[in-house]
Amino acid sequence: MTDDTAPAWAAALVSWYRSSHRDLPWRRDPSPYAVWVSEIMLQQTRVDTVVGYFARFMDRFPTLSALAEADVGEVLRLWEGLGYYARGRNLHKAARRVAAELGGSLPSSAAALAELPGIGSYTGAAIASLAFGERIPVVDGNVLRVFTRFWGIFADVRTLQVKADLAARLSPVLAGVDPRDFNQAVMELGALVCSPKSPSCLTCPLIASCRAYACGWVAELPVRGRRAARPCHEVAVAAVVRSGRVLLSRRPDGGMLGGLWELPGGKCHGRSPSVAVVDKVREETGLVVTVRFKLCQLAHAYTHFRIALHAFVCEPETGEASALRGDEVRWCAPAELGTVAVARTTRQVLDALVASRWFR
């Protein structure tokens, strides 16, 4: 719904959204739970990737109470490959808190939602707006791009000041439009039309009022400060194999990749990877191992750094494996590997191990 107080461009945007938006599963059932799960999955992740994960997740955990009753290991197993695993752990933790302390219903305001694990101010605003109709601006990367172009703002979009400025400009607009449709319209416009490299201005519902288009500034906006280059670390991991089983270690719950299973190993710190891997296995598990052969080499980029990962097949010589750094260790048979939650690179190494004749 729009009323007379909405500027013409906002009404045009909402009208465009209603006729042109993508049919996404969480839009078919915009229950608070579905909106919450989708918003968490969409953090740092493309819509195309999320669609399949969302369907599997909702199939297994159709309600908040089903999620709250689940084991976190199963949640992480379904999250495998989606990355940023703290999102899955926090989703589970928040579901348990809502079930235990809030009568099983998500709070409806952005401020109250932001008190739950894994929901910051952006996601709180998105859920409150899309699921409960709160009249609050949702300012993500798409929104920053669209409106710095639309209003011709030449300020660094990485700064909090620009976000606050846009939120202040958008708040009165939201008083005159349906906040659900308006906020989704801006996000959709940023994803489909006002794209970073080649926006389709000629099909844009905002073209008549867009300052960047009128002034020829589209290619110059948004302004971004320079991002520091991400450092690259050399990492060595060991597939320690004994009696047809491979040794896995579970990371502590807090911190990066917390709760996932992994192969023992770590940063090389200038040592050759085949030397570093023997040291790391001893430090982490107490086992003395011998390197048999190099299994594979992978590259992977995280948000703040990249890794060059060297994986070796090793055999134990002396000692018994114990969890000196992680929470737990286990010897895993090939048939059990599909049941443990691991990060993408670990899965790639395990797949290479299973494909090798060494591990049958």
Only one of the segments 35-43, 66-74, 204-212, 274-282 lies at the binding site for ligand SF4 (rule: CB under 6 A); that segment is 204-212
**Shortest spacing between CB 18 and ligand SF4, in angstroms:** 17
Give the whole-angstrom CA distance, residue 343 versus residue 237. 13
Q: Which is nearer to ligand SF4, 214 or 333 (CB)?
A: 214
DSSP letter string, 194-226: S-SSS--GGG-TTGGG-HHHHHT-GGG-SB-PP
Residue 289: beta bridge partners?
316
42 near ligand SF4, rule: CB under 6 A = no
- Cβ distance to ligand SF4 smaller for residue 200 or 339: 200
Looking at the Cβ atoms of 84 and 150, the one nearer to ligand SF4 is 150
Annotation says 39 is catalytic: yes
**Cβ closer to ligand SF4: 57 or 150?**
150
Query: Measured between alpha carbons, how far is 65 from 105 in angstroms, rounded to an integer?
Result: 10
Q: How far is the CB of 328 from ligand SF4 (least distance, A)?
A: 51
Residue entry with tokens 């969480």: 26
R_g of the chain, CA atoms, integer Å? 24
Angle at 121 (CA atoms; ends 118, 122), nearest 5 degrees? 90
Query: Pick from 68, 193, 309, 350: which binds ligand SF4 (CB under 6 A)?
Result: 193
Residue 353, C-beta contacts closer than 8 angstroms, at least 6 positions apart: 239, 241, 246, 295, 313, 359
* Strand 328-332 with 265-267, pairing: unpaired
Which residue, 107 or 199, is less far from ligand SF4 as judged by CB? 199
CB of 65 to ligand SF4, least distance (A): 42
Least Å from the CB of residue 181 to ligand SF4 = 17
Active-site position among 39, 80, 134, 188: 39
User: Shortest distance, CB of residue 180 to ligand SF4, whole angstroms?
Assistant: 21
Q: Which stretch binds ligand SF4 (CB under 6 A): 41-49, 76-84, 191-199, 293-301?
A: 191-199
Cβ closest to ligand SF4, residue 5 vs residue 195: 195
Among 41, 177, 210, 295, binds ligand SF4 (CB under 6 A): 210
Contact pattern from residue 91 through residue 130 relative to ligand SF4, giving x for each residue in contact according to CB under 6 A and a dash for the rest:
----------------------------------------
- Cα dihedral 52, 58, 64, 66, rounded to 10, equals -130
* Cis peptide leading into residue 222 (ω within 30°): yes
Least distance in angstroms from the C-beta of 222 to ligand SF4? 10
Q: Return the H-helix or E-strand segment holding 311.
A: strand 306-318
CB of 220 closer than 8 Å to CB of 149: no
Listed residue (86, 181, 191, 179) closest to 146, CA to CA: 191
Q: Draw the binding track, 134-163, toward ligand SF4 (x: CB under 6 A; -: no contact).
A: ------------x--xx-------------
Q: Applying CB under 6 A, which of residues 212, 241, 281, 329 lies at the interface with ligand SF4?
A: 212
Side chain identity at residue 340, one-letter code? V
Q: Could you please report the per-residue DSSP string of 70-81?
A: S-HHHHHHHHTT
Q: Of 76, 206, 236, 268, which one interacts with ligand SF4 (CB under 6 A)?
A: 206
**Token match 């114990």: residue?**
322
Catalytic residues: 39
Name the residues that contact ligand SF4, by CB under 6 A: 146, 149-150, 193-194, 199, 201, 204, 206-207, 210, 212-213, 218
